Structure 1
Amino acid sequence: MKLRLKIITCLLCLISFFSNAQVAEFNYKRSIEGVADQWHKVMLPTEIFSKVSPQLNDLRIYGITSENDTVEAPYLLKKLSGKHTSKEISFDLLNVSKNTKGQYFTFKVNAAEPVDQITLDFEQENFDWQVSLEGSQDQKEWFTIVDKYRILSIKNPETDYAFTKISFPNANYTYYRLLIKTSEKLSLKSAKVIKNDIVKPVYNNYRIVRSTVSEDQKSNTTIVDIDLEMPVPVNYLKVEINEGFDYYRPMAIQYLDDSVKTEKGWHFNYQTLGSGILNSIETNEFSFNDNTIQKLRLRIENRDNEPLAIGKISLKGYQYELDARFTKDADYFLAYGGNIRKPSYDINHHTAKIPADLATLQLGKEGIIDHPEELKASPLFENKAWLWGIMILVIGMLGWFSFRMMGKE
């Protein structure tokens, strides 16, 4: 019986050690305050992104119970990137007419549904036209939806650009009349009437600590270098241009990947994050895939044009949240920063059962997780396979001795 008690004690100590070893795999922690329900959400602060893996694999929610046991709360990681769906609305082109104002196209939609966009495709190229759009229920009384809206096409060996999308607030009419203010005889290849449903993304706005503008005279390129306060995931850029004339400039969006010190100084290696066209028609907003960066560079091709006056620059990144389930009474904390695989939780397969409205928990200040030297000096216990092997061996021994004692009794 004494031997049995010793084995049980050894097993409990080993389990406790293994639980602490789980936490020790991470470098940082923040206390989680206000757990009161089974489900809560935790918003990830921007400060942690420089300390976690790009895939956010190394995030865990642990709790310490009153019995000093370590428990783990499962979570669903959500990127608040929003959602955009488009639906084409069936319509008929009723008539095409022309007068001194321009050319008219009248559409009749075949369902009583709101619309917020019409896209056009013309046979013509290289145009710059103003359009107006009206709506009516009976073709007798017309109401202005948009006026002096600009559509544009540029086609040459260097450029192939078209902006022929007319966007407007939700409108619900049976008839839509489009006036294109030109004396040309137009040939409309196709048109689409669209309803967009948009769940807006939730962004973090990042503070730019420094931005510089320089000119590469050899390539006639404007270079804009942007420094952020800390490494953060960026996927949105807006560039304001302080000019009163029309412009069209290709632009590359780059980020600093690494740097090497040489005898001649530092050499900076930039990688392309995305590209786009700075132009006087659209809002010059650009979206691209997440990348954790601190230094950004814009390369604007001026070609044979004078450089543009660069105005305000805005950078944003999607917010991330953890929808977590708490089933035990414990003091919980968020552990992060470690070389560890992505967790696999059941709740990732049952997301429909997670409540829609969750109370937000507050995170405390960042703390550093201690890594005892004796644990680091023992390569045997740094490997989880050894720990599991020892636990299985002890459990097997305990079972064997239990059956022996039962046989003797």
Structure 2
Amino acid sequence: MKLNKLIVILLAANGVLAQHKTTAKIETVKENGLHKIVLPPEIRSFSKEELGDFRIVDAKGTEIPYYILQGNTEGYTRSFSECKILSETRIPKSKTTLIFENPKATIHQIALSITNSDLTKTYSISGSDDQKEWFGLINNSLLKDLENSQDTHVLKLINIPLSSYRYLKIDFNDKKILPINVLKIGFVSTDTNSAIVDEITPNKIKIQQIPSEKKTRISINFRPAQIVNQLRFAIKSPNLFQRQAKIYIYKQKQTNRKSAPFPEELFTFELNSNAKTIVTIPQLFEKEWFIEIENQDNPPLTIEKIQLFQNQIAVVADLKANEKYSVTTQNPKLQSPIYDLENFKNSLDHNLPAAKIYDIKHLNSHKTSLDNPSIWQKPWFMWLCISLGGLTILYFTSRLVKDMKNNTPN
């Protein structure tokens, strides 16, 4: 019986040790407050794709709320530039007049920062070069939807005819409706921003020419899986090219009661010598995938290098100075957390001090289990347990037979 118990314990230990978990530490911060924590690719690789199992805990194991910082992906950002308000005149039950200076050579749009209100206001806009003689630009237009559910003020954009007046004047009609509180006047600039990316290195990249199909196949292998958002190709020759390319992943398909891998097409893109050979793709989170380039009757591309990148992601958490914090992830049972801090992310300043993640450790990680299996995962150990179990059964069976013979009357 003791041997049986030993086998049960060993098998149970095998199950426990096979559980996956990843931990890391956050460097100690010097001041209390919100901090931006960039997640290294290694942390993201061992987490769920949406980071539902990512947690921050303090030295006592208490969970620390965070929110995922958006805006690191390729897109557009808007910046507000304030204009100098020269005067504000309010005549009760009549009108409110604001005069401000135009710092630009030409202007076609102004932005008003207004305290939340449920009112609809009538306004007129005029322009002047000397603040004495004013010329009309907009007359009796309506300003509405002055409420922002995420903040205490709202930003309203007003289009005006393109003009170069040095001074602009807004008159709000207050005869029948109470005044509104205009906090700032300015203009909004829209800038294109590129994604902040981190380069990731696959375990293996294999470039293979398939003359019979007039294709070039590039196989990508990661251990473990990595998120990929961008590809960059360094192509040496020919000087002029335009090739269609497709990305495939392997799926399992049941055929004749057997499971066999088959390629499934995900994305299509073009490699063109007239454009940058930087390709942004929908997010891919796989261990193995491949690219096929259609060469048709052209010679294959001479590809010197392929680089893979993922969009950088950060979280924002309220940390205390000189406190110890750690992160945990790779727990399949956890779902995305719901924190109050998420409700304030649009009103918080994201120009925050940084806190770095370090000392990443994987307990029986994918890499360990595949490349350096522990004693519990090796086939010979499983067969040893089975053999010991079989010997135990034979032992007790023989004892039982012997006892039955001894108890049989002559």
TM-score (norm 1): 0.50
Matching of residues 24-63 of structure 1 within 5 Å: 27-36=21-30, 37-63=32-58
Q: Which residue of 1 aligns with 2:326?
A: 333
Q: Which residue of 1 aligns with 2:194?
A: 200
Q: Which residue of 1 aligns with 2:76?
A: 84
Does the residue aligned with 1:360 lie in a helix, a strand or coil? coil
Q: Can you give the 5+ residue segments of structure 1 that lack an aligned partner in the other structure? A: 1-24, 87-109, 114-173, 175-194, 370-409
Cα 1:326–1:111, aligned 2, differ >3 Å: closer, same or farther?
A: same
1:243 positional shift? 1.7
Asked if 1:293 is matched to 2:286, the reply is yes
1:244 positional shift? 3.7
What CA deviation, in whole Å up to 9, does each residue of 1:373-393 have, x standing for no partner? Answer: xxxxxxxxxxxxxxxxxxxxx
Matching of residues 243-392 of structure 1 within 5 Å: 243-256=237-250, 268-326=261-319, 331-338=324-331, 339-351=333-345, 352-366=347-361, 368=363
Q: Which residue of 1 aligns with 2:231?
A: 237
Cα 1:367–1:224, aligned 2, differ >3 Å: closer, same or farther?
A: closer
Q: Distance in 2 between matches of 1:314 and 1:259?
A: 31
Q: Can you give the 5+ residue segments of structure 2 that lack an aligned partner in the other structure? A: 1-18, 79-103, 108-163, 165-188, 365-410
Give the paired residue count.
237
Does the residue aligned with 2:276 lie in a helix, a strand or coil? coil
Q: Distance in 2 between matches of 1:270 and 1:220?
A: 18
Q: Which residue of 1 aligns with 2:403?
A: none
TM-score (norm 2): 0.50
Q: Distance in 2 between matches of 1:257 and 1:223?
A: 18
Does the residue aligned with 2:237 lie in a helix, a strand or coil? coil
Q: Which residue of 2 aligns with 1:75?
A: 66
Does the residue aligned with 2:63 lie in a helix, a strand or coil? strand
1:199 positional shift? 2.3
Cα 1:280–1:74, aligned 2, differ >3 Å: closer, same or farther?
A: same
Larger radius of gyration: 2
Q: Is the CA contact 2:226–2:287 (under 8 Å) kept in the aligned structure 1?
A: yes
Aligned with residue 221 of structure 1, among 208, 215, 220: 215
Q: Distance in 1 between matches of 2:317 and 2:254?
A: 42
Q: Is the CA contact 1:35–1:361 (under 8 Å) kept in the aligned structure 2?
A: no
Does the residue aligned with 2:213 lie in a helix, a strand or coil? coil
Q: Distance in 1 between matches of 2:313 and 2:353?
A: 14
Cα 1:260–1:328, aligned 2, differ >3 Å: closer, same or farther?
A: farther
Q: Is the CA contact 1:206–1:228 (under 8 Å) kept in the aligned structure 2?
A: no
Q: Is the CA contact 1:273–1:288 (under 8 Å) kept in the aligned structure 2?
A: no
1:31 positional shift? 2.5
Does the residue aligned with 2:29 lie in a helix, a strand or coil? coil
1:209 positional shift? 4.0
Does the residue aligned with 1:242 lie in a helix, a strand or coil? strand
Does the residue aligned with 2:356 lie in a helix, a strand or coil? strand
Q: Distance in 1 between matches of 2:351 and 2:270?
A: 39
